[in-house]
Structure 1
């Protein structure tokens, strides 16, 4: 048993050596869970019986060394704000859509975590560390939640920019408190906005404090057992220090969604609100280059519009309207009036936004649309609009 679950046994021993009863109890509970999963119910029951005899105060027992408890979140010494957010993601609440190669790599990471002890025995183990990098909105935070949910562990989320302090040495102390807190229980430690801490050293703007922060980060990562699950995410991988890169066994680029992923995202986010004849093919084509987060927002806005209008399904033209306006926002096209919106949508896609469609969406006449777009009757759509007007 000790060989099969060495990671948990070592964590229990660490807790005992540090006089940290809370840490020892948490990992003893995890050991009981794993024993039960592998059919060793009697051994699991014996461990739980021992834990049940412990005083209630055990749940909040302090480490004699540093005074950190599970109920006492670490705080920034300067602002006194919490530096860690604790959550318990559930599989049913976390939707994740990834390209096949990326999904395969994530599954490889999960398998490595789940079979860490077996890999140790085979001398083939890698530290359970995953670095995600890519543009904003590509699902890095969602992936962290999904990993925690798949493993059934709490997620400790740290926005690294909140650790940075103006006080000399305070950032390094904040870091240490976060890592010590994460060691108290089985969890997934997620360092978001990672480049705020792990910026490359040696550039022209480098200062001594940055050097100390990166060194402190490396030291804290090196002190973690390989079995500890550490995730990090950055939108600016080119800024990371090379020594930090080398600490991550798994590095995962998070690309913009391809056609297949975009189609899945549109279908998933619109769900039952999608009309039977909605043109997903065109939605996929016109959303090229957008992140999953943007597609989700367009779908949410469209569904909200349908609900407020008392409709059971979204209006396809409204979905395309919101998509077009979102693109204008991304491209920083100033649209301060409805006339400007109509003109933009007409330029963006004349086939989707005929004069009649724009008139319907904005509750105006086709003549008004013709005037603001400065068009005459030059195609079938316009001629149809004139006849209907």
Structure 2
């Protein structure tokens, strides 16, 4: 039968009560007597360890804790027990232990400096990645047989065709919201009929392509980062390099081209669905017939509004794909970084798209496409 830790308390001993510990005092054996030892109330003069056959850090801590509570002296300790008890005594149990933390006045500037430095490193990394992509594209142009057409078609399906339901539903509902809320505000001036102008121009020029880019960033940009990051983690990318396959040509170029090609189509599709949503709500609540709404769109929306959206769309697709592939190719060390890089790809893509959209708005206003 396995031996357990046990003890004896001799309260009639000369010089005070003696608590004698015996048996193995290990993490696996002291549990059955720990509760009883905590309940001891009488004064104890000595804690005798001469009967202890084995002891580890937990057993030594129990003995040292008992001696500290009852202000007792530890006797009969073996060399190992004495060394463990001595080590434990150097760290008082009532001392608060906390992680080292700089004062606030130093911590905040240090964090800001680290963010700036990381931003600089990230910018250089993106430029390096873009240069590698351009070199890989040049190699494919010089050697067309190295272009992976099937991979491009597959990525176009994933980026574009598979996204049609969610992009269509989102755009249709956005068109309903714009028409409804716009009509409420325009009704204050008796200009409900201008709802058609509002829906047509804001969807074709801004919201259609912008919301599509945000959706693609959350859907396809994150997928690019997760897929390539997992391949990096499982060393598939290194294996491709070993057998002479360029990861930029096989993994990055098809995804970037797919996003550039499909974004204008998805953006135009989103604009159409938004206008249909506005037409539906106009027919149901504003008294504007469905077909009259659509015919009015052709009259009040200038053609260059459509071109503004179509010009921005491939740029947004390039940004989203670059963010996803860049962060995927920079996964290191462990699987936790796959999730971190995926999140960074989505945040970076959406932030950059919104910033570029602001620049595009100023640019097209300056050139007269307002």
TM-score range, shorter chain: under 0.3
- Which structure carries more helix by proportion? 2
Q: Which protein shows a greater Rg?
A: 2
Q: Say which structure, 1 or 2, has more relative contact order (CA 8 Å, 6+ apart).
A: 2
TM-score, normalised relative to structure 1: 0.19
Query: What TM-score do the two structures reach when normalised by structure 2?
Result: 0.20
